[in-house]
């Protein structure tokens, strides 16, 4: 469908950009987030390590489709800040693994809570039916097949 000139779609574009800015601001408001000056890629590294456990430099480089020196640069900042730690393989000293630290987990937990609070503030005035409709719209926009049961 061609949305050129559609006033409703134009309004949706503007509101989407505003919503994006609000999300960005909400996630950078906690003092911890301001102090870390963490890039989105570094944040994703923390998430990958939290969800997937220990990862090698090459696994991270493959995931991000970037070079090993770029991963070294990203990870060094996280190691220096105490969010992740390097683990050297006993069998192959060239193999460097990264593991999230307690400080890294605490930071992600804080960001999770910040996000949940923001979402409650943002969508808290919607009725249950509107929330259900919004879930369907988000799933469709993200190309997700009915992976979340919204009938409950």
Q: Can you spell out the DSSP letters for 17-30?
A: HHHHHHHHHHHH-S
Query: pTM for the full model?
Result: 0.73
Total number of residues shown for the chain: 152
The per-residue pLDDT for range 53-91, each reduced to its tens digit, is 999 999 999 999 999 999 999 999 999 999 999 999 888
Structural domain harbouring 54: 26-115
Q: Please, is 52 exposed, middle or buried when counting C-beta atoms within 10 Å of its C-beta (0-12, 13-18, 19+)?
A: exposed
Residue 152 domain-assigned (yes or no): no
Assign residue 81 the CATH number of its domain. Answer: 1.10.10.10
Residue 140 domain-assigned (yes or no): no
Q: What are phi and psi of 27, to 5 degrees?
A: -80, -10
Residue 12 domain-assigned (yes or no): no
Residue 133 domain-assigned (yes or no): no
Residue 138 domain-assigned (yes or no): no
Residue 144 domain-assigned (yes or no): no
The per-residue pLDDT for range 111-127, each reduced to its tens digit, is 888 888 888 888 889 89
């Amino acid at each position: 469908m061609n949305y050129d000139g559609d006033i409703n779609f134009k309004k949706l574009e503007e509101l989407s950009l505003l919503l994006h800015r609000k999300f960005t601001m909400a996630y950078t408001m906690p003092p911890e987030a301001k102090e870390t000056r963490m890039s989105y890629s570094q944040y994703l590294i923390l998430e990958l390590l939290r969800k997937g456990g220990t990862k090698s430099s090459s696994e991270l480089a493959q995931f991000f489709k970037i070079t090993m020196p770029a991963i070294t640069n990203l990870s060094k900042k996280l190691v220096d800040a105490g969010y992740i730690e390097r683990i050297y393989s006993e069998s192959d000293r060239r193999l460097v693994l990264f593991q999230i630290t307690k400080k890294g987990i605490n930071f992600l937990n804080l960001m999770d809570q910040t996000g949940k609070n923001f979402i409650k503030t943002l969508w808290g005035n919607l009725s249950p039916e509107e929330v259900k409709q919004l879930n369907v719209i988000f799933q469709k926009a993200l190309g997700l097949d009915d992976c979340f049961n919204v009938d409950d």
